[in-house]
Structure 1
Amino acid sequence: MYLVLGCGDVGFSVASRLKRRGAELVVVDKDAKKIEWFKKMGYSAFVGDFCLPDVLKDAGISRAEVVLLMIPDFRLTERALGAINRLKAELKIDPVVVARVLDESETAEVKHLGASDALPSSQILANFTLSRFEELKGMVKEKRLRALLGELGGRIAIVLQTNPDPDGIASGVALKRYAQAFGIDADIIYDGSIGHQQNRALVNLLDLDLLHAEDVKFDNYTAFALVDVATHANCALPKDILPTIVIDHHPVPSSEVHARYQDITIVGSTSTLLTNYLRYAAVEIDGATAAALVIGTLTDTMNFTRGTTPTDFEAFEHLMKLADVELLGKLQSPAVPPDALDVLARAIKGSKLNGGYLITNVGEVDDRDTLPQASDFLLKREGVQTVLVYGIWNNLVCVSARTNDIAIHLGQALRQAFSEIGSAGGHARMAGAMIPLKAIKAKSKRVLKRAIDRQVGRKFLEVVGVTKPSKRGRTRPRSKR
């Protein structure tokens, strides 16, 4: 969150640009008329003297990642910095503080008073300033992480999410490289499986030494880093061990994250975040690591069509200058195993199209990663806007969904449909679910397939409004009136 102190011409310019970029911000000024105007324009705004600690507390400084002092009066800046410094000690917070100065001559003094950086008014009004704020925030975070690693010593366990994807794997590789640059050894640990051919290609072509959680003694590590995952809910870290470091790009309530160092930044991929840690620390990114981070970014942003930010584009541009092009080509087009083709054939044969929604039950599968591959392929079919593929794996009904329809949020739809009998979640355009087979109500194995179709496929169509339940519990198409 950005806390903008002072809303004159420069403060307004900065606040309006931040708002256009979708940033969370609060504006503070003691001019009630200005604040009233900001509120009418849809801003979070607060009336008060920001040189007073209580006013800063009420405005939410404890949640602020960046504090922007946008006032031209040096004496007011000095008083405000004094209040901020007192709150840093009292609340144990450490936001990035950027102060406006009239010219370069005031820069050194403002930094001495506690500002992270100082920018002349002319630079603040320049187009590059907002990206500069983001860069400053990233640089300060990198210094904090480096300082923490220096305190820890020993060996770090880098724990990925269950069944890690390319973004998680690449980010784990990057964090290990970052730690090693400062003399800290690390192991990358995962649970579940690495089944998708692109994930396997990433591990094999980069010759990665990943450890399965079943083969690990967590007592052997002095610190624990969660990467591309923020809580115990979807990783192998034992629940009685708190993570030391969390770096993730998924939105997670801060109340659920417990770590000495937390970086939950909403960008397109965790690969973007780790790329910038390496950049800001001036750690060399070799061609193979750069290629892995490129793949991680592309997969999680769906080739820049989902959740992409300017930060992602900037990091990607940097990576493409360094990536091993030949390796990148192999990672983008890995060989497709026969079992994936078999599942795809069954998915096509058994598919049923209902008003742009394609539903298909592929039966039993040996590798659950073949389901999202089938979903991705079927979404390309003419007339299809949403795909739901499901099958049985390891006594679970696994569900994979994809959509191009902006009117539906798949993660929410799957949670609504299946959270009472299993687990579900995901993004707006791609999501998944796992339902214990024993939760499917079937009188016998002979009718199991029909029971799964009814309780998974039809249930999903009910939730998204394509069909509605009949009085006897069966579904029928909605009226087109």
Structure 2
Amino acid sequence: MHRMFKGFNFWKQRAFKNLLSQPGNRLTIYTRNNPDPDSLASSLALKRIAEHYNLEVAVYYTGAIQNRTLANVLGDDVMNAPQISSSRNCTAFVDLLPTELTGEKINPTIVIGHTLGNKEGIHCAYQDIRTTETTSSIMTEYLKKLGVAIDKRLATLLLFAIRDKTRTLIANFTLHDLESYWFIHKYADMELLNSLEHPSARIDTFEDLSRAIANKIMKGASLFTTVGYVKDPGTIPRVCKYMLDIEGISTALVLAINATKIYVYAESKNMELNMKNVLKKAFGEWGEVTGGPLHANTSIPLGVFGIAASAESAKPLLLKSISDSISSRYFYVLEAE
């Protein structure tokens, strides 16, 4: 039976090390769909810890990494998978709860993450699920207490994740996040951190920005826009940040479409709103919502619309239909909030 311990204390450390020290073990790590910096940095931290105990490790994510600079920095340390599937290996979920998955029921060996939701019904050999704002803070404590070497790249990724989730310790942070921030920052590469936080803009971003400005709809301090059909939806978080720079706008949602999916990204400067909750209420029945209180995203299968999307003549009508549906749900939920 799983025993609950407070923090990563002696007993929890012993249970964790015993699990990783089993001979011949191989660890498969899964993180959430369309992972944010926190999901990726904390997964990489667990990978580093497992390698410290001489395990073979593979890290997988589903969906897409929206920050191209972050994806390049991670390189082959994380790999894309079409879906999360059960494995004969020791399996870990990082920043991902089994209860969040739809379809096949998978019981991982290890679950590490943060949540304010229901943890009932999670069965695994080891779990550490807390109400801290970032999973990276949890993994920083693991690195520190287990005495695992922290290189500059890992430290920078963890610091970037904590800064990203808490707006550089301005909002939604806990004492644990603060302690982890000050511990890890002395190892970080500030030049790399600056590159992650201020990635160079590609020409695609400015083209999408132009369409976003032309298509914007504003209601009070809230904005909705679409960039239309794109080859790479990874530009829309940057476009959304530009939308928030418009005078009087505190909340923005950007929509993009490709051949198979509808991509939605939303961000807010309004501390009274929780954008993850907003998107869940508006689109949770259509697709998994990831992110946090300040910014969140979801991808929605195009479904039967995908057939119409293949015909050029039908694309404008399809885009209008999707935009009207997404915007009406978005503004309705915001008004209710």
Q: Which of 24, 41, 45 in structure 2 is aligned with 1:170?
A: 41
Q: Which amino acid aligns with 2:14?
A: K
- Structure 1 unmatched runs, 5+: 1-91, 97-133, 467-481
- Aligned-residue offset at 1:419: 3.7
1:368 aligns with 2:209: no
Aligned equivalents of 2:47, 2:16: Cα separation in 1? 13
Matched, 1:243 2:108: yes
Which of 93, 102, 107 in structure 2 is aligned with 1:226? Answer: 93
Measured on the aligned residues, the alpha-carbon RMSD in Å equals 3.0
CA contact (8 A) 1:153 1:222 kept: no
**1:417 offset after TM fit, Å?**
2.6
Counterparts of 1:416 and 1:267 in 2: how far apart (Å)?
A: 23
- Residue by residue over 1:24-49, the C-alpha shift from the partner in whole angstroms, topping out at 9 and shown as x without a partner, is xxxxxxxxxxxxxxxxxxxxxxxxxx
Q: Does the 8 A contact of 1:268 with 1:306 survive in 2?
A: no
1:465 aligned counterpart, secondary structure:
helix
- Pick aligned residue for 1:449 from 295, 312, 319: 319
Q: In the aligned structure 2, how far is the partner of 1:406 from the partner of 1:216?
A: 33
Residues 41 and 158 of structure 2 are in contact (CA less than 8 Å); yes or no, is this contact kept in structure 1?
A: yes
Q: Which stretch shows the higher mean deviation, 169-178 or 190-199?
A: 190-199
Larger radius of gyration: 1
Q: Shift in Å at residue 339 of structure 1? A: 1.9
For normalisation by structure 2, the TM-score amounts to 0.86
Q: Distance in 2 between matches of 1:169 and 1:423?
A: 17
Contact residue 375 and residue 388 of structure 1 kept, 8 A: yes
Give yes or no for the alignment of 1:189 onto 2:60.
yes
Matched with 2:262 is 397
Percent of aligned pairs sharing the same letter = 30
Cα distance in structure 2, aligned partners of 1:432 and 1:193: 11
Q: Aligned ranges for residues 274-423 of structure 1 at < 5 Å?
A: 274-423=139-288
Q: Normalization by structure 1: what TM-score?
A: 0.62
After superposition, the C-alpha distances for 1:89-127 in whole angstroms (9 at most, x for unaligned) are xxx45455xxxxxxxxxxxxxxxxxxxxxxxxxxxxxxx
- Measured after TM superposition, the shift of residue 180 of structure 1 is 1.7
2:42 maps to amino acid: S
Aligned pair partner of 2:13 in 121, 124, 142: 142
Name the CA distance, whole Å, in 2 between partners of 1:447 and 1:296: 39
Q: What is the identity, as a one-letter code, of the residue corresponding to 1:211?
A: M
Pair 365,285 (structure 1): closer, same or farther in 2 beyond 3 Å: same
**Aligned pair in 2 of structure 1 residues 163, 432: CA closer, same or farther (>3 Å)?**
closer
Check whether the contact 2:85–2:106 (CA below 8 A) recurs between aligned residues.
no
Tell me the SS of whatever aligns to 1:262. Answer: strand
- Name the residue aligned to 1:458: 328
Question: What are the superposed Cα offsets for residues 165-201 of structure 1, whole Å, 9 maximum, x if unpaired?
Answer: 2222211221111112222221112222334223224
Q: Which amino acid aligns with 2:320?
A: R
CA distance in 2 between counterparts of 1:198 and 1:232 reads: 31
Q: What's the offset of the Cα at 1:381?
A: 2.2
Distance 1:336 1:351, change over 3 A: same
Following TM superposition, by how much is the alpha carbon of 1:316 offset from its aligned partner in structure 2, in angstroms?
1.0
CA shift for structure 1 position 402:
1.3
**Alpha-carbon distance, 1:226 to partner:** 0.9
Asked whether the equivalents of residues 371 and 389 of structure 1 are also in contact (C-alpha less than 8 Å), the reply is yes
Instruction: Supply the AA of the counterpart residue of 1:373.
Output: R
Separation (CA, whole Å) in 2 of partners of 1:215 and 1:369: 20
Q: Work out the CA distance in 1 between the residues paired with 2:225 and 2:164.
A: 24
Q: Distance in 2 between matches of 1:188 and 1:319?
A: 22
Residue 22 of structure 2: SS of its match in structure 1? helix
Residue 311 of structure 1 deviates from its aligned partner by 0.8
Q: Check whether the contact 1:152–1:222 (CA below 8 A) recurs between aligned residues.
A: no
Q: In 2, distance between residues paired with 1:361 and 1:214? A: 26
Query: Structure 2 CA distance, aligned partners of 1:347 and 1:153?
Result: 53
- Give the Å deviation of 1:423: 4.7
* Alignment CA distance shift 1:434-1:185 (3 Å): closer
> Tell me, what secondary structure is at the counterpart of 1:353?
strand
**Partners of 2:236 and 2:256 in 1: how far apart?**
8
- For 1:248 and 1:142, how far apart are their aligned partners in 2? 16
Change over 3 Å in CA distance of 1:385–1:447 after alignment to 2: same
In the alignment, the residues of structure 2 paired with residue 365 and residue 234 of structure 1 have an alpha-carbon distance, to the nearest angstrom, of: 28
The aligned residue for residue 79 of structure 2 is 211
Structure 1 residues 349 and 139, CA, compared in 2 at 3 Å: closer, same or farther? farther
* Structure 2 letter corresponding to 1:331: L
Q: Is contact 2:159-2:184 (8 Å) kept? A: yes
Residue 264 of structure 1, aligned match among 114, 126, 129: 129
Does structure 2 conserve the Cα–Cα contact (< 8 Å) formed by 1:362 and 1:389? yes
Change (3 A) 1:346 1:444: closer
Given residue 229 of structure 1, which amino acid in structure 2 is its aligned partner? L
**What is the alpha-carbon distance in structure 1 between the residues aligned to residue 199 and residue 206 of structure 2?**
13
Unaligned ranges ≥5, structure 2: none
Q: Are 1:398 and 1:434, in contact at CA under 8 Å, matched by a contact in 2? A: yes
| 2:165 and 2:292 in contact (8 A); partners too | no
CA contact (8 A) 1:244 1:260 kept: yes
- 2:44 partner amino acid: V
